[in-house]
Amino acid sequence: MLKFYITTAIDYVNASPHLGHAYEKVITDVVARWHRAQGDETFFLTGTDEHGAKIVRAADLAGKKPEEFVADNRKQFQELLELLNISNDDFIFTSDQKRHWPGAVKLWEKLADAGDLYKAKYEGLYCVGHEAFVTEKDLVNGVCADHQQKPEVIEEENYFFRLSKYAARVKKAVESDELRVLPESRKNEVLAFLTGNVEDVSFSRPSKDITWGVPVPKDPEHTMYVWAEALTNYISALGYGSADEARFEKFWPADVHIIGKDILRFHAVYWPAMLLATGLPLPKTIFVHGMILSKGQKMSKTIGNVINPVEMISEFGADAFRYFVSREIPFGEDGDFTRERFREVYEGSLAHGLGNLASRTAAMIEKYFSGAIECPEEAERMSVPTRRELRKEVSSERVSLSGESIERYFTLGVVRFFEDAMASYKLTDAISVLQAFWTLLDGYIQDYEPYRLVKTDPEKAKIILWNVAWHIVRSAVLLEPFMPETSAALLKLFGVSRADAESPARIVISKSGPLFPSKEEKK
């Protein structure tokens, strides 16, 4: 059994979770569920980042102590995981002194033992939003482009990490794909940064200014810079620095870190350098997803285009949300999310698409065959070919098996493409080929009209309905990583267990309400 260790970035809890947090959890969950389905021993980590100046300021504004503030906000992030049906195996939070701090301290001490930490006075621009020092070239008209705030000018004595010492080695690892950075555009961004003059980075702040954080070992006048200790969560959650490091030995290095592009440098430059300095293996892949925009603009309370993920999930359900962000936002690129487009996709692809296909197929089996049909002989199943080609919506390629049986088409066309897409993190392609296949099944019904054929050739009508129902079931198994509740509901509707989905003996209809109630049905 292969091991597979996957992580999200840990979410900063200075405010309530937003659409980007929900998106990252869904796409990471899709990959984790897929690997479990392949039989891999999968460990999926997420969590919250709870230290730093931004937390202290947000807590002050809320009239709370930092520990109370982060605990309240952490709960919102954990509730979002439950709402989205996220299958994480663990949840780490950086204010946890028992689980996280020992690993952060151990890594710091390893860096110190290697001679890669030193004290120096520093004057620079500090962006509180990024919790990081920035340079003039990082600014647009003197302000941070991401946070629309002028950085603070800070002069202080800090510990510095010798990033410059490891820049060439990190660059070589990225160039050779020892450390894969995906997509290619993000890899090029990392290499461009490493090609320039890479300077050492501040790894601490004076504790008189930052009291909320992990104290520097043997020097309590300094607090670890939030990114220096937060990145350690990927190994502290596995037990690094604890009395029992068995899980760490088993699962590290990570197979993939899934992160947003705004924290690329920390993960693809700082983190690998820290690991090289301490002699630990590098993660295998860093996959960088894009931002979610609304009508082409970054979401902003000022503009009024902020969308609350909890509201969308409450109205349409977790699976509809999971479907939309997986299919409509190309993995690795920026995507657009509007309420109007969400409703359009819900009604078109789900309520009137997959939902209607499943319910009308079940209704015909119920009406014409008393709700149960036996599996026809293979020759009979194969004798009714498809009459439509499936035109790929997701690439320039076409899977064209016109005239083949549905069974052969599904195996050679859909499954092969789906598995290749999942293996290469092309999640949008994978879910889109399923959607296109459901459209083909709908066309198969339109071509043969079993509701008319049952009067003249009931046996052939039965074969057609079997083919449609069985392949809804088979596609439901592939669908599970994306829409776990819908996958289970489809199997239940046709009375087939997951274990028997590949070759069921019977299909027995179980009556249920619509999978995706349309606007009219909701009324």
User: Three-state SS string across 180-194, please?
Assistant: EEECHHHHHHHHHHH
Distance CA 247, CA 157 (A): 37
What's the rounded mean pLDDT across residues 207-220?
92
Distance CA 11, CA 25 (A): 10
- How many Cα neighbours within 13 Å face the side chain of 360? 17
* Nearest residue to 433 via CA among 443, 444, 422: 422
What's the rounded mean pLDDT across residues 164-189?
98
Residue 202: exposure state from Cβ atoms within 10 A (0-12, 13-18, ≥19): buried
Calculated CA dihedral for residues 496, 498, 504, 510, nearest 10 degrees: 0
- What pLDDT sits at residue 462? 96
- Whether the link from the prior residue into 253 is cis, omega within 30° of 0, is yes
- What pLDDT sits at residue 132? 63
Ordered by start, the domain boundaries in the chain are: 339-522
Q: What is the mean pLDDT of the chain?
A: 91
Residue 435: exposure state from Cβ atoms within 10 A (0-12, 13-18, ≥19): buried
What's the rounded mean pLDDT across residues 185-192?
97
Helix 355-369, helix 484-493: angle, nearest 10 = 10
- What pLDDT sits at residue 136? 63
- CATH 1.10.730.10 assigned to domain 339-522? The reply is yes
Rounded CA Rg of the chain: 26
Residue 396 has pLDDT above 50, yes or no: no
Six-digit token string for 400: 């064209």
Distance CA 410, CA 385 (A): 12
Residue 305 has pLDDT above 70, yes or no: no
Which residue type is seen at 307?
Answer: I
Residue 265 has pLDDT above 80, yes or no: yes
Distance CA 263, CA 370 (A): 57
- What pLDDT sits at residue 394? 39
What's the rounded mean pLDDT across residues 250-263?
97
Kindly state the helix (H) or strand (E) to which residue 83 belongs, with its residue range. Answer: helix 66-83
Calculated CA dihedral for residues 33, 43, 7, 477, nearest 10 degrees: 0
* Pair 437, 475: CB distance under 8 Å: yes
- What pLDDT sits at residue 426? 94
Burial 335-372 (b: 16+ CB within 10 A, else e): bebeeeebbebbbebbbebbbbbbbebbebbeebbebe
Burial 129-163 (b: 16+ CB within 10 A, else e): bbbbbeeeeeeeeeebeeeeeebeebebebbbbbb
Q: Where are the alpha helices (DSSP H) in 354-495?
A: 355-369, 378-382, 406-409, 416-423, 427-448, 450-456, 458-479, 484-493
What are the angstrom distances between the C-alpha of 30 and each of 45, 212, 393? 13, 35, 20
Residue-wise pLDDT for 94-131, tens only, equals 999 999 999 999 999 999 999 999 999 877 677 666 66
pLDDT-derived band at 397 (thresholds 50, 70, 90) equals very low
Q: Collapsing DSSP states into helix, strand and coil, what is residue 519?
A: helix
Burial 7-43 (b: 16+ CB within 10 A, else e): bbbbbbbbeebbbbbbbbbbbbbbbbbbbbeeebebb
Give every CB contact of residue 161 below 8 A, 6+ residues apart in sequence: 111, 116, 117, 200, 201, 202, 203, 228, 270, 273, 274, 277
